[in-house]
Amino acid sequence: MKFHDAHCHISRKSFLKEFDISPSMEVWRKMGLEYVIGVSTKLSDSKKIVEMQRSYKEIIPGIGIHPWSAKKPLTEEIKSQFVNLTKLCEVIVIGEIGLDHHFIKKEERYPHQVDTFKFFLELAEKNKYPVNIHLKGAEKEGAEILGSYKFSSNNVLIHWYSGPEEVFRKFLDRGYFFSINPSILSGSPHIQILKEAPYERILTESDGDVNYNINSKKIIGSPGIIPETLKKISIIKKETVEEVAFQLQANLRKYVNKLQR
């Protein structure tokens, strides 16, 4: 049974402190890991994930600046470095990018979030790259900005959605993908997204190295927890685990369409 992790901070120092990547990757391969999208939060992460991809064929590099890291205007030099990174990879995702007004309370940083978000959306739109989106406390603003760009619905993934239902419905109507994470194993409200999102529009993610509390145990997010997540999805969607895994792998290839080649 093959599976994927569509959103994991696999290049971050905190993740690499928890997981010795070479033996961990070997374990995940044996479990059935086919692809992991290594999302980034800043330029150094982005450079690292591009470098890691050369050693691990399972890694799909995700480059970008997380809204938490969008603290000041992007310089032309930084923009240029990101453009150059895209030239080093045959397959690439733009992310994790977006807006956050929930955890970031300093309103003076919001214009920098918007400008950074727009830069990466323009880069993705121009080159038809998939985007991996974080929206928290700014879902309406993010939906409006996303709607102003010409993306195939297959190229937009909304990561761990937890915002207003009206925006969720808008994203459903646009045909975006939604990534489902291990929080559903502990009865999280995120399970409602799984219940309502069409089977053909979901992917799986660990959001590693986020900590989950599952059955009173602390579990660190990694590709290794995806098989258990698939089992829960199979129960909710009333399909076998094998059917779920097969469908979600097909969904991933729609999202990152260069994998089809």
Q: Would you mind telling me the total number of residues written for the chain in this entry?
A: 261
DSSP 138: -
Neighbours of 65 (CB within 10 A): 27
What CATH number should be reported for the domain holding residue 90?
A: 3.20.20.140
Residue 31 — pLDDT band, cuts 50, 70, 90?
Answer: very high
pTM to 2 decimal places: 0.97
The pLDDT, as a whole number, for residue 260 is 62
Q: Are 185 and 229 in contact (CB under 8 A)?
A: yes
Q: Work out the mean pLDDT of the chain and round it to a whole number.
A: 96
pLDDT digit string, tens, across residues 125-166 = 999 999 999 999 999 999 999 999 999 999 999 999 999 999
> What integer is the mean pLDDT of 182-205?
95
Domain that holds residue 216: 3-260
CA distance 15 to 196: 31
The pLDDT, as a whole number, for residue 261 is 46
Residue 187 — pLDDT band, cuts 50, 70, 90?
Answer: confident
- With a pLDDT cut of 70, the percent of the chain lying above it is 99
**Domains in the chain: how many in total?**
1
